[in-house]
Amino acid sequence: MNARQSRIGYLGSKGSYTHQAAEELFKNEKLVGFASIHEIVEATEQGVVDKGVVPVENSIAGRVADLYQILDLINLSIVAEHFVEIAHCLAVPTPSDKDKEIDLKEIENVYSHKQALMQCRDWMSSKLPDAEAVSMSDTASSAKYVSETALETKAAICSKRAADIYNLSVVAEDIQNIKQNYTRFHVLSRQPVQPDNLANLRAITTVIFQVKHTPGSLLKALSAIAENDVNVVKLETYMVSGLREAPTFYVDIAVNRFSELGEKALSELANNTSFLKVIGCYSSSPLRSVVSGFLSV
């Protein structure tokens, strides 16, 4: 008898970059699209899907803010990371007369995900300075929407694959600010990775923590990691729920939390923080050592 096919949540419509990440990670599973990261998290927590794939950060535009805001509340673990090379194009509805020249001057609105709009800002300001940038749930839904309008005044920033799926014509390729452009994705699950599955692998432990808003508090917390000779590969600060008293820090630590060293570093970190939550411990991607914008582990 066949094992049950897992259900995997991803952001957007077929042809989004998160859909691509989910396809690369889960070749034989059922992929289910959601309109927001929040909905993916909820569906994974409630068991509507078994795992959720979410974008985390990009080498040009930085963090995907929507995820960070809910990390303190979610009851899920990060069980994997995955990198996808992102090449954006500008695509427009295919004219009924296929030989018609497409004139960029006609374009009034450009639809895409806000991350993709940020990644293409330079090209947009030089080639389409007067066009309005409109943010949508994801790049593929933007492509679908623009195709449905069939208007020559509308364009989408999306992948070449999304342009093909929704029958758009590509007018410019590789329009991101820097050609080499990668987005990092996380896989979220209700069950954390088991320690045995991490034996002898290079691992990342992701934690969020808060310290008092006083001079030296962050330094003291990070010293607990440094004194154990453990490397921090990502540090972000942000405020949750509008609280002013305690900034929240997101940290990726290059250590296996189940190793002796990991346990020691994390317990010393916990002693120097007012709140600490381990979001996951997972194998680090081998691509880290070759793609620019991300530190190797």
Interacting residues toward ligand PRE by CB under 6 A = 11-12, 16-18, 55, 58, 64, 86, 113, 115-116, 138-140, 183
Smallest separation (angstroms) from ligand PRE to the CB of 277:
23
Q: How far is the CB of 18 from ligand PRE (least distance, A)?
A: 3
> Which residue has 């194009």 as its token pair?
89
CA 74, CA 122: separation in Å to the nearest integer?
36
Of the two residues 14 and 257, which places its CB atom closer to ligand PRE in the complex? 14
Give the shortest CB-250-to-ligand PRE separation in angstroms: 16
- CB of residue 234 to ligand PRE, shortest distance in Å: 16
Output 138 or 252, the one with its CB closest to ligand PRE.
Answer: 138
Select 115 or 272, whichever has its Cβ closest to ligand PRE: 115
Minimum distance from residue 116 beta carbon to ligand PRE (Å): 4
Q: Measure the CA angle with vertex 291, ends 259 and 200; round to 5°.
A: 20
Cβ nearer to ligand PRE, comparing 18 with 272: 18
Burial 73-106 (b: 16+ CB within 10 A, else e): ebebbbbbbbbbebbbbbbbbbeeeeeeebeeee
Give CA–CA dist 272/82, Å, rounded: 31
Q: Judge contact between 269 and 221, C-beta under 8 A.
A: yes
Sequence-distant (6+) residues with CB within 8 A of 229 are 261
Residue (214 or 292) nearer to ligand PRE, CB: 292
